[in-house]
Structure 1
Amino acid sequence: MSDALQVDQMYVSYQGNQVVKDVTFSVGNGTIVGIIGPNGAGKSTLMKAALGLIPKDKGEVLVNGKPLKQSQKKIAYVPQRSDIDWDFPITVIDVVLLGTYPTLGLFKRPGKSERAWAAECLKKVGMQNFATRQIGELSGGQQQRVFLARALAQKAELFLLDEPFVGIDVASEETIIQILRELKREGKTIIVVHHDLSKAESYFDHLLLLNQELIHFGTSSDVLKPEVITKAYSNQFSFLNKSGQVNCT
């Protein structure tokens, strides 16, 4: 069986500056992977380039051994909250219904079965009572749950989430990580851009440590070793915790 995601020799530039340089890695099926690194490391850029959302200078992306264009229906993406227009006049249930469109035929609209499935996805994230609300009326954590429900509605095999835990409440964060673990048990693959190193080992099976270049890709416990993590974060650490892992300030 092919890996869920293969990225080979990825280079990406932004405003004439190369921000991702020669990054190669493979993510196996049924695992949760965190992409970590300091601010400006190129984490979100790498994810967007792998999805084809922004142009890359060079590189190949395969999803389950197939080119990206042949696999897009199997990929669900949850962008950063800052990338979304929260003033757009759309209800919660309609946001989730957008996740059903990739499986519909051309020019077809969601019907009764799709609406039932969208309602079930909202229930999974604990947002069934907010179906008729305008998306901008929700809190940050509630908004993130709704966009996760949209991803679930897509029935994808590969889930990519860009900073899903930023600016949300503890209850929403716990709900989201539990759903991601459930997806893993179902054999799905999840890749998350993440910034909080204190939770990285408990959240992720593997970590990809990035600072424009790939510093290390391995198990969470291996990547979080001080001698590895400091290669990317340099002097940004204040202390080591009791288990010998690094805490970032």
Structure 2
Amino acid sequence: MTTAIAVNDLFVSYNGNEALRNVTFAVEEGNLVGIIGPNGAGKSTLLKVLLNLIKKDTGKVEILGKSIKEMKTKVAYVPQRSNIDWDFPITVMDTVLIGTYPNLGIFKRPKKEHKDWALECLKKVGMADFGNRQIGELSGGQQQRVFLARALAQKPEMYFLDEPFVGVDVTSEEKIISILKELRDSGKTVVVVHHDLSKASDYFNELILLNKELIEHGIVEKVFQPAVLNKAYTNQFSPILGTEVTS
């Protein structure tokens, strides 16, 4: 199998404060990977470093054997909803069309074929009837589905999503995870920052467990064990996996 992501000896800091230290792992193509860990563990930081949105202090990151700069058209990113300006005056269709831009070339505009493809992507996420709606008029779940459609429109080899299930309705969450599993099954690599441990074993086939350093990485059955999780979530869980201790 081909290595999709290779991270070696990664160190990251903000203003002298350590965010990630000594992180090393590799992910093979065709996996749906959840990045889990407590608040402040560096989950979103890791995702952004993989995409070169945050500079690393030291270490090496490769995407499909190359630098992210060389592979940027092969990678799609769905950011946290809280990082998006929902007041920006843009329609749902135009939002999805942006996903076609990386493959258009400089100064070229989308043609009918690109608009048809954008519509297909909207149909895929169940949002085809909202093409002319302003993006800010949608619910949280609808907005997230539109941004997934934008990622699909890019036709990438890899997908990176930062907390895609936060603030979305059940229908949208089910639709999104169904599509992500389909992408994995078709050979794509999908990496998701995720906080809800109760669904981790259902959603992913691999997990990366972080708490500023790599606690464990591997198949869900290997990582999703009380003894392993407690290394990151110290004293936060009872022996019944995923049950928070209130005292």
- TM-score range relative to shorter protein: over 0.9
Cα distance, 1:239 vs structure 2: 5.2
SS state of the match for residue 47, structure 1?
Answer: helix
What is the total number of aligned residue pairs between the two structures? 245
Partners of 1:100 and 1:114 within 8 A in 2: yes
The residue number in structure 2 matching 1:82 is 82
Cα distance, 1:15 vs structure 2: 2.5
The residue number in structure 1 matching 2:18 is 18
Whole-angstrom CA distance in 2 between matches of 1:248 and 1:45: 25
Whole-angstrom CA distance in 2 between matches of 1:92 and 1:168: 17
The residue number in structure 2 matching 1:60 is 60
The residue number in structure 1 matching 2:219 is 219
Letter aligned with residue 163 of structure 2: E
Letter aligned with residue 200 of structure 2: A
The residue number in structure 1 matching 2:210 is 210
Q: Choose 7-16 or 179-188, whichever is displaced more.
A: 7-16
Letter aligned with residue 30 of structure 1: G
TM-score (ref. length: structure 1): 0.96
Q: Choose 50-59 or 148-157, whichever is displaced more.
A: 50-59
Cα distance, 1:2 vs structure 2: 3.1
Tell me which of 221, 241, 247 is aligned to 2:243: 247
Deviations 1:70-94 (A, max 9, x none): 1110000000000100000111001
SS state of the match for residue 210, structure 2?
Answer: strand
**CA RMSD in angstroms, aligned pairs only:** 1.1
The residue number in structure 1 matching 2:28 is 28
Whole-angstrom CA distance in 1 between matches of 2:244 and 2:59: 31
Letter aligned with residue 135 of structure 1: I
Whole-angstrom CA distance in 1 between matches of 2:243 and 2:29: 29
Gaps of 5+ in 1: none
The residue number in structure 1 matching 2:45 is 45
Cα distance, 1:111 vs structure 2: 1.0
The residue number in structure 2 matching 1:120 is 120
Letter aligned with residue 243 of structure 2: N
The residue number in structure 2 matching 1:147 is 147
Hey, which bits of structure 1, 4+ residues long, moved more than 4 A?
none
Whole-angstrom CA distance in 2 between matches of 1:153 and 1:201: 28
Percent of matched pairs sharing the same residue? 63
Cα distance, 1:113 vs structure 2: 0.6
Partners of 1:224 and 1:246 within 8 A in 2: no
Whole-angstrom CA distance in 1 between matches of 2:127 and 2:191: 23
